[in-house]
Structure 1
């Protein structure tokens, strides 16, 4: 099943949107993680659509085929929250099952905590935020921010010699990745390089810089505590697990928990059938 592709303007950004089965009885909105793309959800989205759901996946700002922020701008979680708050009504979505992976899960959690009035359910796929930092690191972090942004502005994009190099990079970061998955994602996460030579990743290089903001668990706890909707947390026993995971989960009022054995961070690539089944089960129960 091939999705419909479109660009939807929200919060000044042209968001690349994929939609499967637009007439489905319930709506899932799938939010990808850091440096990932909407197409990464293909194997989950197709299964949800086959089960009768409408499925929407989109590229966050500065990712995939969505707009970059442009000169003088930067990427903050507050921007993602506002993007999502404007993107949902732009897509005619009033009720939805929001699913976020990794960074996308963090953004979804912040949105749900900010808008507890919106009728949604939330699934966080290893999306409980990055490790927490104290405020003492902020002066050094601001210095790193200045240096890294200037370095990106002055540097040439790294050019991969061919598509195979992109596939190899993904496979090295995700041992055991099926070749068909890696190749499919690599084809859509890259574009031709300068003058048509080689390939470059589609994401804005600014994402590779040091954010000036130190992530603070105490602040994130407040957002988690404001989430009124049922929330499913999905993780892999070999994935990205935080030392304070339990404390963060305890802030969620209506929590369901699923752990996949023998699975790492990219659950939607390695276990799409099982993940889709859990999403459908949770949606039916709520």
Structure 2
């Protein structure tokens, strides 16, 4: 299924972000948030299968065609939460739903738990909480992050002589994807450079986190969710492999579906996108 989208740039008070707009202007407002190192094309298959919604599929800061954060800034997960809230403000949406994949799902949970009065519904794909770290590991984690940050200036992004080589690299990357999915992400995520192509993404996105939420922190956000939540889990994805995952969902009023496919099941092929859409259509457009 094909569906036209509008390419827009959103001038927020602190940064300019790019996005794809899908659906009618008077549709149910939804902000779609992609995963780490992906971009708005993550929803190229799924968004057309969700009629009646006004979907703003963002490029997160540092991803796709969005601006990079200024020198000296970082990419903390809560900074993405602030970005999303500013996007909603720009559209004049006091209440909206969130459609999140992987890191985008995590950002969605943080925002919905922190400001429940703003978020109508959560539709999550193979993501719920960030990787956590306990207090005793914090000094070592900060040391590793600082060393990596100091070494970043001496590193260069990979350059691919041909577009196809970049596609093949993305197929093998974190959260491996199908060739068609890799092509969609690469079409938006690559830029020409001397010698071929390289990724638009900010190199700082690959730095290790200097600090992680503890498991108790993560649990607190899940416990504070007040809106309806619909979680799609990929049988060959990443979410089910997280430690203590069953404990996280125990006795939670969360709609849960396990679907065949990998971490990018909503993008890998049309059949997977349709299965995800079947889970979300009536949920995001309640009668």
| Alpha-carbon offset, residue 94 of structure 1 | 3.1
Aligned to 2:171: 171
Mapping of residues 217-228 of structure 1, within 5 Å: 217-228=215-226
Deviates further, 98-107 or 266-275: 266-275
| Alpha-carbon offset, residue 211 of structure 1 | 1.0
Asked whether the 8 Å contact 1:135–1:214 carries over to 2, the reply is no
Aligned to 2:200: 202
Aligned to 1:65: 65
C-alpha distance in structure 2 between counterparts of 1:281 and 1:140, whole Å: 46
The normalised TM-score by structure 1 is 0.91
Asked whether the 8 Å contact 1:28–1:55 carries over to 2, the reply is yes
Mapping of residues 78-227 of structure 1, within 5 Å: 78-173=78-173, 177=178, 179-193=179-193, 196-227=194-225
Alignment counterpart, residue 13 of structure 1, candidates 15, 20, 23: 15
| Alpha-carbon offset, residue 4 of structure 1 | 0.8
SS at 2:230 equivalent: strand
| Alpha-carbon offset, residue 89 of structure 1 | 1.6
User: Residues 96, 168 of structure 1: CA spacing in aligned structure 2 closer, same or farther, 3 A cutoff?
Assistant: same
C-alpha distance in structure 1 between counterparts of 2:283 and 2:40, whole Å: 22
Asked whether the 8 Å contact 1:17–1:57 carries over to 2, the reply is yes
Question: Can you list the C-alpha shifts for 1:106-164, whole angstroms capped at 9, x where unaligned?
Answer: 11100000001114101221212233221111111111111111221222222122211
C-alpha distance in structure 2 between counterparts of 1:6 and 1:176, whole Å: 26
The normalised TM-score by structure 2 is 0.91
Aligned to 2:276: 275
C-alpha distance in structure 2 between counterparts of 1:258 and 1:198, whole Å: 42
Q: Which portions of structure 1, spanning 4 or more consecutive aligned residues, are displaced by more than 6 angstroms?
A: none
SS at 1:43 equivalent: coil
C-alpha distance in structure 2 between counterparts of 1:152 and 1:133, whole Å: 23
Give the number of aligned pairs: 279
User: Residues 284, 53 of structure 1: CA spacing in aligned structure 2 closer, same or farther, 3 A cutoff?
Assistant: closer
SS at 1:164 equivalent: helix
C-alpha distance in structure 2 between counterparts of 1:210 and 1:176, whole Å: 23
C-alpha distance in structure 2 between counterparts of 1:130 and 1:160, whole Å: 31
C-alpha RMSD over aligned residues: 1.8
